[in-house]
Structure formats: C-alpha cells, structure tokens
Amino acid sequence: MAKKWALVDVGWGLNCQAALKRIIAAEGHAKTDVLGYYVALAKNHLPERIAGRSEAMIRAAGSLFARRAVVFEHVFTPGTHPSTIGYSSDEGQVVPEFSEETRSEGEIRYVAALHEAVVEYARLAADDIRFGKGLEEFRDITTRIAESFLSNQVRLK
C-alpha cells in the first residue's frame, strides 16, 4: 500500500523533494506517493519521475519569483536561524549545525517580527475560515504587488 506524504517549501528546483524521495525509497518504501507544495518552481526543476509530484502557487515555471529566488527568500521567507551547514547526533537525536550568524541586529529583528506576524496570521486562520478564503481571493493582487517589488529593486550602499 502506498503511503502519502507532502513537503511544503519555498520552491525552485525540487532537489530536497527528490532527495527525500530517494531516502524513503532506500528504506523500502518505493511506492510512497510524494507531493510537494511550493511558492514557485524554476524553469529547469527536476521532473516528476525523479522528484515526485509538485504543485506551485505561482504556476508558471521559471517565473520572476524563481528568477529572484535569493531576494524572495531573504525578504519574504528568511529563517530565524543562520544557515544549516550539517547535522550531528546528540544523545540519539539528530540536530542541525548552524553557520556563524552574519546578519545585523536589524535583520534579526525583522525576521523575528515577520515570523511573529505569520504565526499570528496562522492562528487567526485556524480560528476563522474567512482568513484562508481571503488569501485565495487576493492571490492575484498580492502576486502582482510582490512581482512589482521584485522587479524594482534598488541596491543600497
């Protein structure tokens, strides 16, 4: 019997999904049904036969979101921790190893405020279905606003 699982990520090439699919298959679960949900995908993302099925919020592969991936990740989806550079074992638990923190205090405060706002939105959405419906209703306008932002970058000195 096939098992189902899903991956939710920002997107781009489907490399992580393909790696997870290979790991699960190596453990004897070759019939596992893989599905990934992403913001956007790169034009040259891995095919379904390698990575499994995927769905993207921005359906056109190679969109501006994928082409400006680094900016998108740093502005809209920054991590609350430095980059993960490896994993180690600690008392039988797998734990991430992080690089040295290189972000400024201002960047760290921005990340904390953004994550706090996202958690609050998720709480409200869980309490009231209208929030989720609102996201769908405003997808086009929010996509256009984000595209405009990504298209009109100014380098700060």
pLDDT in tens, 32-72: 778 899 999 999 999 999 999 999 988 888 888 889 888 88
Cα–Cα distance, 139 to 110 (Å, whole number): 24
* 132 assigned to some structural domain: no
Mean local confidence (pLDDT), 85-109: 90
* 37 assigned to some structural domain: yes
Q: Which amino acid is at 60?
A: A
CA distances from 134 to 78, 122, 130, 137 (A): 24, 13, 6, 5
* 156 assigned to some structural domain: no
pLDDT in tens, 9-20: 888 999 989 988
* 22 assigned to some structural domain: yes
Q: pLDDT value at position 108?
A: 94
- pTM here is 0.71
Number of domains in the chain: 1
* 60 assigned to some structural domain: yes
- What is the span of the domain harbouring residue 67? 1-77
Cβ proximity of 17 and 52 under 8 Å: yes
* 154 assigned to some structural domain: no
- Residue 112, SS3? helix
* 89 assigned to some structural domain: no
Sign of the C-alpha dihedral computed for residues 127, 128, 133 and 139 taken in this order: negative
Cα–Cα distance, 65 to 131 (Å, whole number): 24
